[in-house]
Amino acid sequence: MAFGLTPQQQEYAERVRRLAETELAGVEPAEGRVNRPLLKELGRLGLLRGLFGGAEDDPPRDAAATQLCLLREHLATVSTEAETALALQGLGSYPILQAGRPETVERWLPGVVTGDVVPAFALSEPGAGSDAAALALAARRSPRGWTLHGEKTWISNAPEADVYAVFARTSDRAGAKGVTAFAVPGDAAGLSGEPLDLLAPHAIGLLRFEGVEVSEADVLGEVDGGFAVAMRTLDLFRPSVGAFAVGMAQAALDAAVHWSVEREVRGAPLHAQQSVEHTLAEMATRVKAARLLVHAAASSYDEGAPAREVTEAAAMAKLFATETAQWVVDQAVQLHGARALQRGHLLEHLYREVRAPRIYEGASEVQRTIIGRSLVRRATEEHT
């Protein structure tokens, strides 16, 4: 299971899972809302530090993407709520960490690490989901910096976040070239929002910007260079979405194997049926293949591979792992029968949770497009 990991990384993964099983199990869930007590506990346990530097006994920071994947997979195997809460702390704050001015980083990041500050990544809009370059939210020059006008939607942690990494159009140039990133306080005048209700409830909502004022110090990176900030963030987090999916798939596989041993059909254990054993074998093989793709993509990022290779590897990892998790969870439900559809059953929970990762941070179709274009580009370059 830990093929390719160092002993230190294996120990780290085991420690994360142990903490999830022993320390996080007692935190009250908060479906559809930001769970601040859970975030505080993640901060107290030092797990949020794994997003931004880690403790002294954590794996070296030249393996940042791999560590993020280990965190997400092993939390997801135990608690999808804890996994999602942690991941959103990273996704929402990484644009600030990588592109913010020192004073902006100092204002927000310490609280993110302790779980006191809730960040959000505000990219998607009503008319710009998969085509993120089609952003319409406008940022206009003002005497004190910029004013923001427009809407964002499908924003995790909205409308409760304390700070948003917001991507807005700052020039009329087409596509990605006229987009700028801003750090926007959640209590800014003119900013409002409302929650959205999903199949698998978690904190997500719509935001409205009605003349929201931001200063030059709130710009993340270069003016008109915000799309690169978004893509660097997604290149890091896409493999870890795959890790989240692997964690859910592993939990479903474990449940299916245990059930096949416990359940008797006509006087024999369920696994005695060859079709069941073959299904379990296929589930386990696909989970391991997905895990290896995730680790390969994370290693590509950590080793400083060319951006084109990192993007392709991340797309492959997210595509295969999320599609695999959907299939594995579905097979586990089928093996359990009607009991898996009861509200509160682990597999009923996973069946709802596993659907969204095939859409967010680039739907499966988008990942296939990225991979296909990369292959064609490489072949074209080799023949010119």
Do 71 and 146 belong together in one domain?
no
Task: List 164's β-bridge partners, or say none.
Answer: 120, 184
Q: Is the pLDDT of residue 53 over 70?
A: no
- Residue ending a domain, choose from 96, 114, 132: 114
What is the rounded average pLDDT of the residues 285-291? 97
Do 173 and 254 belong together in one domain?
no
What is the rounded average pLDDT of the residues 313-335? 97
CB 291 within 8 A of CB 69: no
> Of residues 236 and 56, which shows the higher confidence score?
236
Q: Is the pLDDT of residue 315 over 90?
A: yes
Total Cβ atoms within 10 A of residue 276: 18
Torsions phi, psi of 192, nearest 5? -140, 175
Q: Is the pLDDT of residue 291 over 70?
A: yes
Q: Is the pLDDT of residue 59 over 90?
A: no
Instruction: Band the pLDDT of 199: cuts 50, 70, 90.
Output: confident
Instruction: Band the pLDDT of 31: cuts 50, 70, 90.
Output: confident
Do 280 and 332 belong together in one domain?
yes
Quote the mean pLDDT of the chain.
Answer: 93
Q: What is the pLDDT of residue 107?
A: 97
Q: Is the pLDDT of residue 41 over 80?
A: yes
Highest mean pLDDT among 24-28, 47-51, 60-64, 74-78: 74-78
Percent of the chain with pLDDT over 90: 81
Closest CA to 334 of 285, 273, 279, 281: 279
Q: Is the pLDDT of residue 303 over 50?
A: yes
Tokens of 272: 């005695």
Do 93 and 196 belong together in one domain?
no
Q: What is the pLDDT of residue 26?
A: 84
What amino acid positions are annotated as catalytic residues?
361
Classify residue 256: in a domain, yes or no. yes
Q: Is the pLDDT of residue 73 over 70?
A: yes
Range of the domain at 29: 7-114
List, for residues 79-116, the tens digit of each pLDDT value: 999 999 999 999 999 999 999 999 999 999 999 999 99
Do 123 and 66 belong together in one domain?
no
Do 241 and 298 belong together in one domain?
yes
Residues 6+ apart with CB under 8 A from 309: 300
Total Cβ atoms within 10 A of residue 221: 20
Q: Is the pLDDT of residue 1 over 60?
A: no
Q: What is the pLDDT of residue 323?
A: 98
Q: What is the pLDDT of residue 54?
A: 59
Q: Is the pLDDT of residue 77 over 80?
A: yes
- Residue ending a domain, choose from 189, 223, 257: 223
pTM of the model: 0.92
Do 289 and 340 belong together in one domain?
yes
Question: 3-state SS string over 195-228?
Answer: ECCCCCCCCEEEEEEEEEEECHHHEECCCCEHHH
Q: Is the pLDDT of residue 3 over 80?
A: no
Classify residue 44: in a domain, yes or no. yes
- Residue ending a domain, choose from 71, 95, 114: 114
Q: Which of 54-63, 304-313, 349-358 has the lowest mean pLDDT?
A: 54-63
Torsions phi, psi of 79, nearest 5? -145, 110
By CB atoms closer than 10 A (0-12, 13-18, 19+), residue 133 is middle
Radius of gyration of the chain (CA): 21
CB 321 within 8 A of CB 294: yes
